Amino acid sequence: MREKTEKLLEKYYDGETSLAEERELRELLLKVPGFQEEKQFFLGLEVLKAIEPRDRPVPKAKGELSLWLKIAAVITLFLSLFWLFVDQQSKKEEALAYAQVMEAFSLIQENLKKGTAPLEAIQDMRYLNKPNEIFNIKNKEEQ
């Protein structure tokens, strides 16, 4: 009997036993002395079979939650695309404003050059009075 038990245990560990052989192995283990670990294993299986399963709560339907998640994802996508569009438009407007300011500065510079061109002649005329200042001609006449 012990040899048959050992042979069935070897087949069981190799995964080659049928259900009938496993029932026979359980019965032999209860009759044969020794094999304490195997007896505890099979008795544990019997205890697990005897335990009645508990009722688990029914999971929530995924349809409702996933629908809200889809709606939120679509809204988030549209908001991010709108933000990118607005940001791009503001950058274009800033570039256009910068170009207009630079063009205005260029026009101001050109007009200033045109306005100061006649003043150069007056600047040249101030040197005409230099000899009088150098030789104090006016001061001598007054004396």
Task: Classify burial at 102, counting beta carbons within 10 Å of its beta carbon; exposed 0-12, middle 13-18, buried 19 or more.
Answer: exposed
The confidence score (pLDDT) of residue 14 equals 85
CA distance 93 to 97: 6
Q: Are 25 and 19 in contact (CB under 8 A)?
A: no
pLDDT at 36: 79
pLDDT band at residue 65 using 50, 70 and 90 as cut-offs = low
- pLDDT exceeds cutoff 60 at 54: yes
pLDDT band at residue 43, thresholds of 50, 70 and 90? Answer: confident
The model's pLDDT over 7-28, given as tens digits with 9 standing for 90+, comes to 888 888 888 888 888 888 778 7
Q: What is the mean pLDDT of residues 92-107?
A: 96
Q: Quick check: helix, strand or coil at residue 104? A: helix
Is the pLDDT reported for residue 84 higher than 90? Answer: yes
Contact 27, 37 (CB under 8 A): no
Give percent helix, percent strand, percent coil of the chain, each to the nearest 5: 85, 0, 15
pTM equals 0.35
